[in-house]
Structure 1
Amino acid sequence: MTRHGALYQDIVPYTSRYYDKGKFGRMFANLPAFAQDSPKVREALKDIGKKGGIMDAKDDLAKPPAELITNADLQVNNPNAPVMTAGMTFLGQFIDHDVTFDPTSSLERQIDPEFVENFRTPTLALDNVYGSGPGASPHLYDASDGQGIKFLIEPLGLKGKENIEKFDLPRNTQNTALIGDPRNDENLIVSQLHLLFLRFHNVLVDAVRVKYPSKNPGEVFREAQELVRWHYQWLLLHEFLPQLCGEQVVNDVLNNGRKFYSWHNAPYIPVEFSVAAYRFGHSQVRPSYRANFGITSAPNPAPFFATIFDFNADHHSPDPNDLRGGKRAPRRFIDWHTFFNLGDGSTRPNKLIDTKLSSPLFQLLGFAGGDVISLASRNLLRQLTFSLPSGQRVAHAMRMKPLEDDVFEDLKGYKVNFEKSTPLWFYILKEAEVQHMGIRLGDVGARIITEVFVGLLEGDNSSFLTQNPFWKPCLDCWEPYRTGKHFTIADLVRIAEGKVSIKL
């Protein structure tokens, strides 16, 4: 199973402002690092992010997973968010895997982002789903019909809520998922989200065939692929970003342009985005989830509740009592009613964006003895490894008022000046907490993320924003009370799972 929080190779940093396609780079190349690398600074970062430390929500993992969801007394240090649903956390993870992939790893020395290869094309084009297409990645596609333009999926032979037939990703004999990005099998939820996009593509292939019976298989594939990509880009721009960053910020960037993210030849991925701002989602992860409501096609269906990761679970078990990926078993499927608003009142929220992370994330799976296994500590060490500027410096560079020192009171005891020169990731989490009560990102975080995503769409000649900025989704919204509203992830779920028939 791919490890969460794997890091990067190291080379002494440069600070130029222009980058080649496929590289990571810097938005604020002229700003100094938030701290000099020293044993004292490293130990402080590890301590801030350690299990039981100031970032640990201290969830009582001895309690049953269902009780962590239903008992408000167990959520005092880790409150729910009132707006974003639990599934948006994993949609965010899926989007991240679409634009960035670097298989190298190190915690030690400083890195020049320009020399860290991004093995994912920096576009929102679903490279993580399509691979290199049917010709170069035939193992992803189903050749049983002689055309090989639909994705392979594996029926589980059972039904979940609403009698929806359930599937799994295709796997080899060792349960390794045959998909375009191994990270999308890291946990059950993102694994099943990847599956949703496979099924969405397959539905659209069938719809294109009906509308254009004379098109050859290659033409059908390209038409369906464009529809999938554009609907995905639309929901990112019109649902995900407004909820996360605020409509005002999104509209300002769309209408008045980007101010801080630019490139010379082609878009790149800024480390201020990938290593700091876009790691907001780690704060939204719940300690446990209701994966499904049980196998409804079997007698006495029982819901499957589990923690996101259980460090003590038997990793050799074919069906461990957590939501790790890389496993196939009858109960390991997702009913999306918990994760997105499908209209039946079953939806659960994610956690607030703040400086607390759910406790399972402080003991990551799959790392060797002696490795730092706390996700928070690993994220903080990344700030040093990549020589990222402080949140205060970035706020000044953006002509924004930085947070006051006193909001970082819990950092003063480390005596390394973090209250005045705060690691960017920690600053962005605190900013959301202070400015918007953790409901959405604050000034710096929202601006970085919005500018990068809008920039990636504007820099991609095949995106809907470049090809046809007035395009709107051609697939109807399934919810009758939302007539005239925009296409959302809930619509994609209903279409992919066959609850809504479509006609192009």
Structure 2
Amino acid sequence: MAVPKVAEASTLQTSGTEARDAVQPTAPGFRHFLRTPLPSQRFRVFGIDPLESPALQPRLRGLMHRLSRRMDAEIYWPQHDDEAAEHWENPRIPSGYTYLLQFVAHDLVHSAIPLSVAGTLGAGTANARRIPLRLETLFGSGPVGSPHIYALDAPNDDRRTKLRLGRMRWKENEPATGCPFRDIARTGAENVTGIDRSIAGMRVALTEALVADPRNDDHAVMSQLTALFALLHNSLIDHVRRQERSHGPNDRFGAAYKRFLCVREAVTAIYHDILRKDLMQRVIHPTIYAAYSGPTPNFIDRPDQSAGDSATGDWQIPFEFSHGAFRFGHAMVRPEYNINDLSNQDLYNTLEKTSANDPVNMPLDETWMIRWSHFFRINGSKPNFSRRIGPYLSDGLGNDQIFPAFDETERVGLLYRDLLGAGLAGMWSVDALIAELAARRPHFVAMSRLLFDRDYRVSQLREWLAAAPAYGKLTDEDIETLSNDPPLPFFILFEAMRQPGAEGLRLGPLGSIMVSEVIFGALAGDLRSSSGDSLPDQLADLSREHYPANFFQDVPDISSMAQLVEFTAEIAELKQAVPAFL
């Protein structure tokens, strides 16, 4: 029965005093979910804590290598009622949300060196984000702090309020013939090494993406999503400018500053509404979503320094989220994409299409201009669907050119990096984390036998790990340690796969709790977003903070990505764009 099992699980918890006495190396900008786990509560490999025994690292790397190989075995999902969808596809989540999740991740975490590559916690793995979900990944430090990503408003005018964009190009013509501005801005750069990747007499290599966060040029879909948000911002800048009273030359800078701040806040409010009402509703377990999406959620993860580091006031992100639960988005990546009416592209080509990897073929040409009805459901369109969520990644994420080997295992791909990073972060073990949650929210844990019944959980993991012996060649010892102490990002995927009646269509309860705590927690920390007001009311209040009237009265109540795309097409005059925008 559920209740006795939950009560039994809760006996694994320890007192807050004991936990505070635990010493663990960390990295600036990060913390642990709930609190720092004791050594006995941390993830272990063959019964040994990797943080306490650095000599264990080769065995940790070997085990994560073999587990990643086991996860190469394709999952045989049940067929959908709608036979038009492939069994591995997720009709609930169009593929545009895969990349909105990546955009959100960039808005929450920015580290100089991945933990898996760094091999240890330290300054190189610090999180540079100090305020969550404020679109720093798009706006950087603003026109003064990040002038390279902003365009001059007019000739002989040093004001900058619009984000830079670049012209698309046509395959057979020079980039200047591409119209309108549909790509992120890109440029060439002098190189002191003398290396020039241009094609002499034909094309200049545009090696530099002029964006606030270089990861927003990680691949063609990401750069196109970044351009979409930039188009929204720039169009709203024009919308506000047209309603301003004329200013004399000495007032222009103040007017531009006010306009930028007002529109940035408006775009952020729209973004927050979409996260709250669209993205999270699609990926979170419905019971968990109902508990967190209301005006006054009862958060579990509120340590003493929840507003930030007690010394600096900075916000900190839990390792268990950044290196654990939120890695689930990697499993949603498709093996190929229908970009627009002109082209289908496989995942490798999509990942390779960046200024760093393919500078002589930049800016993006017409075959890479996303038709957004192929990525979100707009006016009844059938978009590319994301993959179901489970312990399997598309082959392109294992490409040795995009994700090369970096250690003695010679394992290539993103999956191994995810697993190894989790093993090096000193995170909660799955058992101890479930026990903590059982003590604090027993009704959440009681929802899932995979959570409340440890014997069942271990048996299910053991059965799956042993089911494909040709993949990974896991030993009996490997299977026992992984079934009793699974790495958190792997378990989140396993839990999603094993949900009765919703196999892989959304996160399970544990993954949903952890994602909800961070995303809704960050939104709750934003006074405007947490006010409970409708988006139109938020925008009206925002406009009147800067202007005598509501300049946003023509902005609809945008609560989904489909509505954002449709509004951007209208306000940016892209309804008749070629290639098609909608």
- 2:529 pairs with 1:464: yes
Report if the CA contact (8 A) 2:397-2:403 is conserved.
Answer: no
**C-alpha separation in 1, matches of 2:117 and 2:565:** 42
> Which of 486, 506, 514 is residue 422 of structure 1 equivalent to?
486
CA distances 1:77-119 after superposition (whole Å, capped 9, x unpaired): xx00120101000000001001110012453787458994211
Counterparts of residues 175-186 of structure 1 (less than 5 Å): 175-186=207-218
One-letter amino acid of the structure 2 residue matched with residue 336 of structure 1: W
Question: Pick from 273, 285, 300: which aligns with 2:321?
Answer: 273
| Map of 1:9 onto structure 2 | none
Q: Do 2:169 and 2:363's aligned partners in 1 also have CA atoms closer than 8 Å? A: no
Cα shift at 1:152: 1.3
Contact 2:116 2:418 in 1 (8 A): no
Q: Report the Cα offset of residue 374 of structure 1.
A: 1.8
Gaps of 5+ in 2: 1-19, 51-55, 77-82, 172-178, 189-205, 247-253, 309-314, 439-444, 446-450, 467-473, 541-555, 575-582
Q: Distance in 1 between matches of 2:238 and 2:71?
A: 52
SS in 1 for 2:100: helix
The 3 A distance-change label for structure 1 pair 223 and 374 is same
Q: Which residue of 2 aligns with 1:490?
A: 562
Contact 2:169 2:365 in 1 (8 A): no
8 Å Cα contact 1:19-1:263 kept in structure 2: no
Cα distance, 1:410 vs. partner? 3.2
- Alpha-carbon distance in 2 for matches of 1:152, 1:473: 27
Which secondary structure does the structure 1 equivalent of 2:116 belong to?
Answer: coil
Distance 1:271 1:447, change over 3 A: same
Seen in structure 2, the aligned counterparts of structure 1 residues 404 and 420 have a Cα distance that, compared at 3 Å, is same
Q: Report the counterpart of residue 356 of structure 1 in structure 2.
A: 392
Query: SS of the counterpart of 1:42?
Result: helix
Structure 2 Cα separation of the partners of residues 16 and 464 of structure 1: 36
Q: Is the 8 A contact 1:184 1:194 kept in 2?
A: yes
Alpha-carbon distance, 1:360 to partner: 1.1
Distance 1:331 1:88 in 2: 21
- Determine if the alignment matches structure 1 residue 237 to structure 2 residue 287: no
Equivalent of 1:406 in 437, 459, 464: 459
**1:145-179: per-residue Cα shift (whole Å, max 9, x none)?**
233101111122669xxxx9561111111332100
Summarize the alignment of residues 43-442 of structure 1 with structure 2, pairs less than 5 Å apart.
Answer: 43-50=62-69, 53-57=70-74, 79-107=88-116, 111-112=120-121, 116-145=125-154, 146=157, 147-156=159-168, 165=180, 167-173=182-188, 174-213=206-245, 216-253=255-292, 254=294, 255-264=296-305, 265-266=307-308, 267-294=315-342, 303-309=343-349, 328-366=364-402, 370-371=406-407, 372-399=411-438, 400=445, 401-402=451-452, 404-408=457-461, 409-411=463-465, 413-414=474-475, 415-416=477-478, 417-435=481-499, 436-442=502-508
Task: Give the greater-gyration-radius structure (CA).
Answer: 2
Aligned residue type for 1:232: Y
- Deviation, 1:58, is 8.9
1:281 is paired with a residue whose SS is: helix
Q: 2:9: which partner in 1?
A: none
Unpaired segments ≥5 residues, structure 1: 1-12, 60-71, 295-302, 321-325, 477-483
User: What secondary structure is seen at the aligned counterpart in 2 of 1:280?
Assistant: helix
Q: 1:448 to 1:486 in 2, by over 3 A?
A: same
* Residue of 14, 19, 29 corresponding to 1:23: 29
Taking the aligned partners of 1:187 and 1:230, their CA distance within structure 2 comes to: 26
Find the aligned partners of 1:178 and 1:317 in 2 and give their Cα distance: 15
Alpha-carbon spacing, 1:25–1:139, altered in 2? closer, same or farther (3 Å):
same
* CA distance in structure 1 between the aligned counterparts of 2:237 and 2:350, rounded to whole angstroms: 39
Separation of aligned partners in 2, 1:336 and 1:183: 21
State the aligned residue count: 447
> 1 or 2, which has the higher helix percentage?
2
- Which of residues 32, 35, 46 in structure 1 aligns to 2:42? 32
